[in-house]
Amino acid sequence: LTGQQQEINNLIQRKIAVDEENARLKNEFSNLNQKFKDKSQELKDTEECAQKKEEQNRLVIKNLEEENNGLNTCCADLLNDLEKLRKQEAQWKTEKSGNDVRIKNLETDLTEAREQMKDLRSICSDLSSQVAVKQEELSQKDSDVIKAKKELQQLQNLYRQNIEHTAQQAELIKQLQALNTD
């Protein structure tokens, strides 16, 4: 009986430990889930930012192309005056060089934004994998808790049966003593 009580106490302690581990894992899962949501939002924000940058780049390139067309028209109009043409040509080259640098910088920014998106997708994928692993661990812990509860129930049933059997034995001993006295 003392051994069974000790075993019941051990199972109760195991159940408490499993419950604590289960709570810790649920908390960890909740934290990972929140990180996943944060990273997903960050990825979404980055994608939106990259989309806006691409749109801005297209507008800037379109404006620069229109500006270049205007410069070409201006150069054609100034062909009659050689001095003005040279000044205009020098100005156009300077502006074109600046525009090329700006286009190159915008292309570099776009490439960096794409790399960031790729990195964020990779992070989100890693977090999804971690969430899946933690969910599997949580499922296993839940299964362990259910098994421990079943074992505890069985031990409690055996304990009740043992008590009933002991009571019956005590009753029989009383009857035998009474018979013996008679």
Average of per-residue pLDDT values in the chain = 92
Tens digit of each residue's pLDDT (9 = 90 or more) over 15-31: 999 999 999 999 999 99
Mean pLDDT of 152-180: 94
How far is the C-alpha of 24 from the C-alpha of 20, rounded, in Å?
6
Look at residue 57 and tell me if it is in a domain: yes
* Domain contains 92: yes
pLDDT digits (tens, 9 = 90+) for 30-39: 999 999 999 9
Percent of the chain predicted with pLDDT > 90: 84
Torsion of CA 50, 55, 56, 60, to 10 degrees: 140
Q: Are 22 and 141 within 8 A, CB to CB?
A: yes
For residue 159, tell me if it sits in a domain.
no
Contact 65, 125 (CB under 8 A): no
Cβ atoms of 145 and 16 within 8 Å: the answer is no
Number of domains composing the chain:
1
DSSP 165-181: HHHHHHHHHHHHHHHHH
Predicted confidence band of residue 147 (pLDDT cuts 50, 70, 90): very high
Residue 99 belongs to some domain of the structure: yes
Would 103 be classed as within a structural domain?
Answer: yes
Confidence of residue 79 (pLDDT cuts 50, 70, 90): low
The distance of Cα 11 from the centroid of its chain, to the nearest Å, equals 35
Domain that holds residue 134: 1-147
Q: Per the domain annotation, does 67 fall within a domain? A: yes
Q: Is residue 165 part of a domain?
A: no
**Residue at 168 is within a domain:** no
